[in-house]
Chains A and B, each alone.
Chain A
Amino acid sequence: MLRWNGDPALVSGATREECSILNERRQALIRILLESHQPITIRHLATVLKTSSRTIRYDLGQINDWCADNGLNLIRKPHSGVLLDQRGLSRDDILRRLVLAGPSEFVARPAERQRLTVSWLLAGAEAICPESLQTRLGVSHSTAVNDLRTVENWLGRYGISLRRDAAGAITLQSTERQWRQVVADLVAEYTEGGQLLTRLRTTSATERNPSHDVVDESESLRTMIQLSGLDAANRLQTLTEMVSEHLGVPPTEPALPNLVVHLAIAVSRVRQGKTIPASAAHLEELRSAAGYSTAERLAEALEQAFQVRLPEPEVGYLGLHLASLAQKRQADDEDGESRVMARDFYRLASSLLGAGPLMDEDDILALALHLKPIRHRLSEGLFLRNPLLNEIKQKLPKFFEVASKAGKVVESRVGLRLPEEEIGYLAIHLGAAVEKKKLSRRRVLLVCGSGIGTANLLAASLSKYMPDVEIVGTVSPVGVEDALSHLRVDHVISTIRLDLQDMRVSYVSGIPDQAEIQLIKKRLGLEQEAAPALAGAKGARIAGGNLPVLSDLLTKNHIALDVPAMNWQEAVTAAGDVLVRAGDVDSAYVQSMVQAIEQLGPYVVVAPGCAMPHARPTAAVRRVSMSLIRLREPVRFGNEENDPVDLVFPLAAVDTNTHLKALSQLTKLLQNEADLKRIRTARSVDEVLDVVQRYSPDSEE
């Protein structure tokens, strides 16, 4: 990235130090004092700010004037240190004044002039020429010409040139990509310094410093904010939250602002009809890039949230940004200090909680990534918003307490006190680690009807597929209650029906198949539960992998031929009873299938003669399952076109996803008239099985 401040050609004349009253160190000093309710010693301040005590004393003298001007009182207490009396002013108000008094207002003039010139050129709203710059910036003609030359050079590095028309008006010659890159880079300068965030958060983002006569820093910042589309209400925050949620990275991730700025720019430009074109070949390349699929999902969310349609090349470029973010994060992992802090924190927290080591490397990494920018956050007074703070204190009082104690290791390393918002985040990390640990070893009781042989077989396959499960005992159905009364058991896994009114029981066959294993994992919380099927059924994504195929579900005991039924209710009930007998569902599920049709109509009759009744996944569904019954006499469901029905395939789903593969194979089967005819004329269940088998090519493995 090209940096403006770092470009010696642009920063000339007075240095920051000379012309600023509150340089960065003095700002930081005020922020530290602002966060402390106790006096802080000068020696401590000097250590934190990495300077001498003498400098701090000098700085305090300078700050004293500023404080007095702003109605604050700087109190020096002999032998105990310095304290800032806020005199009833709110923290936000003081922070805002700090920003306005910051070095940004006093940045070297030429750099700011040139920056403004660039922002006017980028905006392209008015004609720019040396004469107009002369009046707008209050400089001489030769200075204006010089500024333009510098600007032209700088833009040239982006491949952008200036065009002068016959009347001398100057416009940018840039592609959309170049334009966006310049805006993003300029905005990034503000983002990195934290100025942008603070400025957007303070209420009067447009407030000017009246003492500054011609132009001030906030004007170029304001223009950049407008150009990037970040001026819309809460845009920055909404986007940050959205991206952090989609990518699973903390909102504090240091590389996030850059991405968010690019997104904001993309959204606002696309809205104006300014999109990045891409050739077909280039598009293909973008599609195959690493971040593309994530980009597609993120794009969908953006489209919904901002009511825009992002053309494919935009999604492709978004993918490139995501890929580079991932790379940056990876590079960040190698940083040592934040990991040490995270490890120390967990170590102390574990001993305070009186537990064994709580964390694994994943926890440490997650916390380290959160802690990495903490020094910057604290010293810049950039506080994380923590909307959950009160809830955390209420619901996780123990973790909050421990986090504030264990947080001392972070405080001593950073040299700053942690505000409650930060402690709240530490408490969440801690709670998550403890929760994970709790989940990771589930205590399971096995119940087998036919003795030790089956039990051993079951134990073997369970420990193979679920190494985190601890089998605390194996008993016969008679011994269950006794075992439950004296063993701590999280879950019961049984091969036969138990007379137990307990939600913790799962039923499996002696050698559980993939579908059963998946279901048990889900029930044990070893696998993340898919979003509840009811509200957000769009989570259904096409996934290959270990999903059960049609022949896994339609096994021999799931098929029944020539079943008698007088009406559709009897037909659905009979088909559902097959699932009940196999231990797949409780009879409550069968009733809800009937109710669903009563309420929602006969749309389950999906094709002529074929019905697929189903209801929502509830506790009554033990595992994903399906049966196939052929009725002796067809019945009418009330679907004019497709009645009468003679084939019924009830479906029991556990989520929106697990049944996907089987459902897709069933669709193929229903599309094949010849195979449906084979099922209708089959003389045995085996003949039906042969047909089913053909639609499950993956089932041989």
Chain B
Amino acid sequence: MRIVTVCGMGFGTSLMLKMQIEDLLKTSPELTKGVRIEVAAWDIGSVKGQQADIIVASTDMKAQLTGTGVDTVFLVNLVSSRELKEKLLPVLQTKLQG
């Protein structure tokens, strides 16, 4: 399972998101059901060629990230762990079951 976080540059907000997702998965290992999940941070220009199961990005990237065919989670507050949990977990659970 591969989650890709995206921002304009690939090392700012996407990196923030990557670290938070990693923290979340580390503190709640039961969420992943034993599946190895990797999280990678990419910039919007290079993300097209990336293989991803889930994309996580800021709501402001919506226009650039439509039509990727990949389930995408858009966040308003990029540092809110509650928002991240609320939006990411349902998608993650569906993916893990499917």
Q: What residues make up the interface of A, taking CB atoms closer than 8 Å to B? A: 300, 303-304, 307, 309, 311-312, 315, 533-538, 540, 542, 596, 599-608, 610, 612, 614-617, 639, 641-642, 651, 653, 655-656, 659-660, 663-664, 666-667, 670-671
* A603-B42 in contact (CB<8A): no
Please pick, from A605, A610, A614, the residue contacting B9 in the complex, using a CB distance under 8 A: A614
Please pick, from B11, B36, B57, the residue contacting A653 in the complex, using a CB distance under 8 A: B11
* B7-A603 in contact (CB<8A): yes
* B51-A540 in contact (CB<8A): no
User: Given A538-B40, A601-B61, does the pair A651, B12 have CB atoms closer than 8 Å?
Assistant: yes
* B19-A542 in contact (CB<8A): yes
Q: Is B34 an interface residue (CB 8 A)?
A: yes
> B residues within 8 A CB of A610?
79
* A642-B77 in contact (CB<8A): yes
Please give the distance in Å from B34's CB to the nearest CB on chain A.
7
Can you report 24 A-B residue pairs in the complex whose CB atoms are below 8 A from each other?
A: A533-B9, A533-B10, A533-B11, A535-B46, A536-B46, A537-B14, A537-B41, A538-B42, A600-B8, A603-B7, A603-B8, A603-B13, A604-B8, A605-B60, A606-B77, A607-B77, A614-B9, A616-B9, A642-B77, A655-B11, A656-B11, A660-B19, A664-B16, A671-B81
* A312-B34 in contact (CB<8A): yes
* A641-B12 in contact (CB<8A): no
Please give the distance in Å from B64's CB to the nearest CB on chain A.
8
4 extra interchain contacts, Cβ-Cβ under 8 A, other than A537-B9, A537-B15, A671-B79?
Answer: A311-B36, A596-B9, A607-B79, A671-B80
* A537-B19 in contact (CB<8A): no
CA distance A683 to B63 in the complex (A): 41
Nearest A-chain residue to B81, judged by Cβ: A671
* B13-A612 in contact (CB<8A): yes
> A residues within 8 A CB of B88?
none
Please give the distance in Å from A596's CB to the nearest CB on chain B.
6
* B43-A534 in contact (CB<8A): yes
> A residues within 8 A CB of B12?
604, 612, 614, 651, 653, 663
Q: Which bracket fits the contact residues of B?
A: 35 or more
CA distance A641 to B74 in the complex (A): 13
CA distance A663 to B12 in the complex (A): 8
Q: What residues make up the interface of B, taking CB atoms closer than 8 Å to A? A: 1, 7-16, 18-20, 22, 34, 36, 38, 40-44, 46, 51, 57-61, 63-64, 76-81
Please give the distance in Å from B80's CB to the nearest CB on chain A.
7
* A542-B22 in contact (CB<8A): yes
* B11-A537 in contact (CB<8A): yes
CA distance A608 to B16 in the complex (A): 16
Please give the distance in Å from A579's CB to the nearest CB on chain B.
15
* B78-A606 in contact (CB<8A): yes
* B41-A540 in contact (CB<8A): yes
> B residues within 8 A CB of A311?
36
Nearest A-chain residue to B11, judged by Cβ: A656
Q: 6 smallest A-B Cβ distances: which pairs?
A: A537-B10, A603-B60, A600-B8, A603-B58, A606-B78, A670-B79
Please give the distance in Å from A320's CB to the nearest CB on chain B.
17
> B residues within 8 A CB of A304?
51
* B60-A601 in contact (CB<8A): yes
- Name which of B36, B38, B81 has the most chain A CB atoms within 10 A of its CB: B36
Please pick, from B11, B63, B77, the residue contacting A540 in the complex, using a CB distance under 8 A: B11
Please give the distance in Å from B73's CB to the nearest CB on chain A.
14
User: Given A603-B61, A604-B12, does the pair A537, B43 have CB atoms closer than 8 Å?
Assistant: yes
> A residues within 8 A CB of B57?
603
CA distance A659 to B79 in the complex (A): 17
> A residues within 8 A CB of B79?
606-607, 610, 667, 670-671
* A641-B77 in contact (CB<8A): yes
* B46-A660 in contact (CB<8A): no
User: Given A600-B8, A656-B11, does the pair A537, B22 have CB atoms closer than 8 Å?
Assistant: no
* B34-A667 in contact (CB<8A): no
- Name which of A303, A612, A651, A667 has the most chain B CB atoms within 10 A of its CB: A667
CA distance A671 to B51 in the complex (A): 30
> B residues within 8 A CB of A642?
76-77
Nearest A-chain residue to B18, judged by Cβ: A540
Nearest B-chain residue to A310, judged by Cβ: B36
> B residues within 8 A CB of A615?
9
CA distance A466 to B22 in the complex (A): 35
Please pick, from B1, B41, B63, the residue contacting A538 in the complex, using a CB distance under 8 A: B41
- Name which of B7, B12, B59 has the most chain A CB atoms within 10 A of its CB: B12
CA distance A615 to B9 in the complex (A): 7
CA distance A664 to B37 in the complex (A): 20
Please give the distance in Å from A570's CB to the nearest CB on chain B.
20
Please give the distance in Å from A549's CB to the nearest CB on chain B.
14
CA distance A656 to B9 in the complex (A): 10
